[in-house]
Amino acid sequence: MAVFSALLDVDVPTALEADPSGKNPAFEIAFTADGEIPFPQVVIHDQGRQHLIVGDAIRLSGADDTGHRYIANVSADLFRPGQVTVQIEGCRKADIREAGGGDWVKEFRPLTVAAPKRAAPRPRAVGAPSPDTVKVYFGIHKHMHQPYYNTTDTTYWDGEKESIFGSRWGNYTDFVPAAVRQYIDGGLPHGGLSTSWSGSLIEQLDRCNDEGLCGGCFRDWNASLRGIAGEKTALGNPRVDFTAFGFFHPLMALIPHRNIVKQIEWHRGAICDAFGVEASTVLFPPETAFHVRMIPALLEAGIDAVIYDTIHRFRTCRDYPYAGINEGMLPPNPAEQANPAADDWLQLHNIWAGSQIAPSLLRPEYVAYTDPDGNTHKIIAVPAERYIGNEDARGGYGALQYPDVLGQVYNSIVDSGDYDPKHPPFFLLHSDGDNHGGGADSYYKHNTGELVRWLNIDPRFELMSIRDYLQQFPPDPANAVHIEPGSWAGADNGDPQFMKWFSRYNEPYSPDLNSWAVLTAFQNIVHTLEDADPGAPALADATRLMLTAETSCYWYWTGQHVWDQQVTDAANVAYDKVGKAAEALARKGGDRTGPTIFAPWVTPENPGGKKWGQGCLEDAPREGTVHTFVHDVSGLKRVDLVLRADAGETRIAMQDRGAYPSETGSRVTANYFTAQLPVGAGDVRYYIEAEDGKGNVARGSLERVFLA
């Protein structure tokens, strides 16, 4: 069969309308060649980015004497409204590595994608407030962090670290003060921002100051920040609110209660030392990762309010309009959908929004958790809007069209009649303060200036600090809701299973599961000594290594040895320091600590619901399995799954599958346990209870799952 020499015909749509998400719909491109194309492809040039359509996305639709006809399937949601250039090309050689310039034949076509048509405004509800009485409040949160790049050597430094820190000089010195000074000079009475700084970042900036690293650019790095820290809003709250945080950036949803408290307490001291003010009682959890089981520990640590990603509130509504695979998450588990239906679902336009939002829910409210003993714990939950915050992270005012996008929220609230003047809308725009557009000089300076100018002429909106809002519009603890687990969109869409930190969980070996198993055993050793011999030699060193090993970054780049090894390295060094002492304590009968139980996970995630297939959703088996890691220096006598359903409480002995098969040379690792869940039990609650060889008993948190 002859290899082609020319493209005879190209059929590209000249114009398309974006779908409701604000990006291109799926469409086809057809082209005909005068022979077989060994390597066909389509390249879409989109404002500096390229999207390749190649391989299985291009099929031969027919061949005869008139030519070979090909169809290229372009997926939805690749590019935003505007004009793009479509490059249709073929290579005369199947192995493009052997091709020269003369082997490629190309054609170019323009394509315009129009913004989606707005739906007709919904009729204003009877009794809806006058637009003049409605105001939407919003805040800004900027997150700053660097991990330790070697858990066992805090002095580790090389050219890469020099570049990482040096390129962020402004972010870690005067960008935040520059933005807040414009709020003050612009006359915004409640204007302020919250910001989270990890302890590991602060310590390394102090080192840069002391040793003149990065060319000395961090000399007195915190001077401007300490200066702005004393500025107050009209209500007397800090203009810059240094939020509570975990010292080493732990994923708090997956570490023990006592370690959550310790991480927050250590961080509180670091903030006071660095900035001369007390850390806020508002917590920004690392990765915006929240689970209601964190609430008792947060309350013990003195936290009044916690920031969460809004999609995990929306998905708990009984009528939630699940958007399919474009949402990037599985459908909500019915057990999580404990909140009443909303009636104001809105598809945002002119930004990427993979699912609909409910503006009526964009306000702080209490969230509740009930423990295995039946005690209810409540805390204020502050919404950080997933899609608007993600767009703001591209560069602030201008990158995010504030008047248009926030105007859509405003109009929805006016039209729905859901405005409550005692609890008006408030949400955060949260992003990294030191990465990409949200960390650019222009975000904090020029674009912030434009934001202030807009706010001074648009009475519909007001920039307000979290603490000013909560002081002026306190939520009602009698109206507590549920929020499903999950994190921010940047962590593989922040699913309720925290799968960014469980990569390869369904394979024979998972580096992520290995690190959790090692960490679980490590935590038990340290906790055992803390309880029985708090003055033990080297316990302080081991404790710091344990908290360092909880850094969420060490699970972020799974498959890279330097990261997969970090937890084990810390655990091994600590074991050499205190492991023998803990084991000797156990042999002498001095162990007073119950087993350490890792947060359980369920497979499939939605038994009897849906699971991930290859680019699609498939029916999930109804048979579910609970998994966990458990460790105790005195050995384990039993590990039980306690299941609560309508039929009563059932105790199921979990199967001990032995120590997780570590491939990182760990000195100690937890045992892996599983239990089968009963099919068809419906909306159930469960917890894990474990007893060690000395009779010490520990119980995990109360979890929920729906078993279809």
- The answer to whether position 43 is within a domain reads yes
| Domain annotation covers residue 123 | no
Core vs surface per residue 113-146: b (16+ CB within 10 A) or e: beebeeeeeeeeeeebbeeeebbbbbbbbbbbbb
Q: Do the Cβ atoms of 373 and 386 come closer than 8 Å? A: no
Residue with tokens 């709250």: 237
CB-CB contact of 141 with 430 (8 Å): yes
Domain-terminating residue out of 484, 499, 514: 499
Measured between alpha carbons, how far is 496 from 488 in angstroms, rounded to an integer? Answer: 10
Q: What CA–CA distance (Å, rounded) separates 644 from 69? A: 60
Q: Are 664 and 564 in contact (CB under 8 A)?
A: yes
Closest C-alpha among 477, 485, 441 to residue 605: 485
Extract the runs of DSSP E, i.e. beta strands, from 18-154.
Answer: 27-33, 39-46, 49-53, 58-64, 67-74, 82-91, 104-114, 136-144
Q: What is the pLDDT of residue 118?
A: 58
Is residue 460 located within the same domain as residue 567? Answer: no
- Between CA 481 and CA 476 the distance in angstroms is 11
The sign one gets for the Cα dihedral 397, 401, 405, 410 is: positive
Residue 250 within any structural domain of the chain: yes
CATH code at position 680: 2.60.40.10
Q: What's the rounded Cα separation, in Å, for the pair 175 and 330?
A: 38
Q: What is the DSSP letter of 107?
A: E
Same domain, 539 and 649: yes
Domain contains 507? no
Report how far residue 17's alpha carbon sits from residue 193's, in angstroms, rounded to the nearest whole number. 37
Whole-number pLDDT of residue 102 = 82
Instruction: For residue 462, tell me if it sits in a domain.
Output: yes
Domain check: are 251 and 339 in the same one?
A: yes
Q: What burial class does residue 694 get, using C-beta atoms within 10 Å of its C-beta: 0-12 exposed, 13-18 middle, 19+ buried?
A: middle
Residue 633: both structure tokens together: 């220096």
487 and 547 inside one domain: no
Question: What is the structure's pLDDT at 123?
Answer: 61
Tokens coding 46:
């989109």
Q: What is the pLDDT of residue 79?
A: 84
CATH code, domain carrying 256: 3.20.110.10
C-beta neighbour count of 374 within 10 angstroms = 7
Which amino acid would we find at residue 453?
R
Q: Do residues 165 and 82 share a domain? A: no
**Alpha carbons within 13 A on the beta-carbon side of 621:** 9
Q: Are residues 538 and 479 in the same domain?
A: no
Cα separation, 242 vs 228, whole angstroms: 11
Task: Give the DSSP per-residue string, 321-374.
Answer: ---GGGGSSPPPPGGG--BPPPS--B---SS--SS-B-GGG-S-EEEEEE-TTS
- The number of distinct structural domains making up the chain is 3
HEC string for 440-478? CHHHHCHHHHHHHHHHCCCCCEEECCHHHHHHHCCCCCC
**CA 296 to CA 111: how far, in whole Å?**
55
Instruction: Provide the CB-side half-sphere exposure for 343 (13 A, CA).
Output: 8
Note whether residue 688 is domain-resident: yes
Query: Does residue 618 share a domain with residue 584?
Result: yes
The dihedrals phi and psi of 371, each to the nearest 5 degrees, come to -85, 175
- The first and second tokens of residue 481, run together, are 């809701």
* Residue 544 neighbours by CB distance under 10 Å: 18
For 477, the domain range is 135-499
Residue 516 lies in a domain: no
Outline where 550-608 has alpha helix (H): 561-564, 566-574, 580-587
Residues 110 and 147 in one domain: no
Contact 44, 85 (CB under 8 A): yes
Q: Report DSSP state, residue 258.
A: H
Helix, strand, or coil here: 498? coil
Does residue 204 contact residue 470 with C-beta atoms inside 8 Å? Answer: no
Identify whether residues 487 and 575 lie together within a single domain: no
Residue with tokens 């504030």: 402
Residues 696 and 561 placed together within one structural domain of the fold: yes
Distance CA 202, CA 205 (A): 5
Half-sphere exposure of 295 (CA within 13 A, CB side): 25
Give the pTM.
Answer: 0.85
Same domain, 92 and 154: no
How many whole angstroms separate alpha carbon 483 and alpha carbon 488?
14
The interaxial angle of helices 446-455 and 175-185, nearest 10 deg, is 20
HSE value, Cβ hemisphere, 13 Å, CA-based, for 578? 30
Per run of 10 residues, the mean pLDDT along the chain (length 708 residues) is: 91 90 88 94 82 92 93 89 89 82 90 76 61 92 98 96 97 98 98 98 98 98 98 98 98 98 98 98 98 98 98 97 93 98 95 96 98 98 98 94 96 94 97 94 97 97 98 98 96 95 96 98 98 95 98 96 97 97 95 98 97 93 98 98 95 98 98 97 98 98 98
Residues 460 and 534 in one domain: no
The closest alpha carbon to 33, from 12, 3, 13, 73, belongs to: 3
What length is written for the chain? Answer: 708
What residues are paired with 309 via a beta bridge? 384
What is the per-residue pLDDT for 1?
66
Residue 517 lies in a domain: no
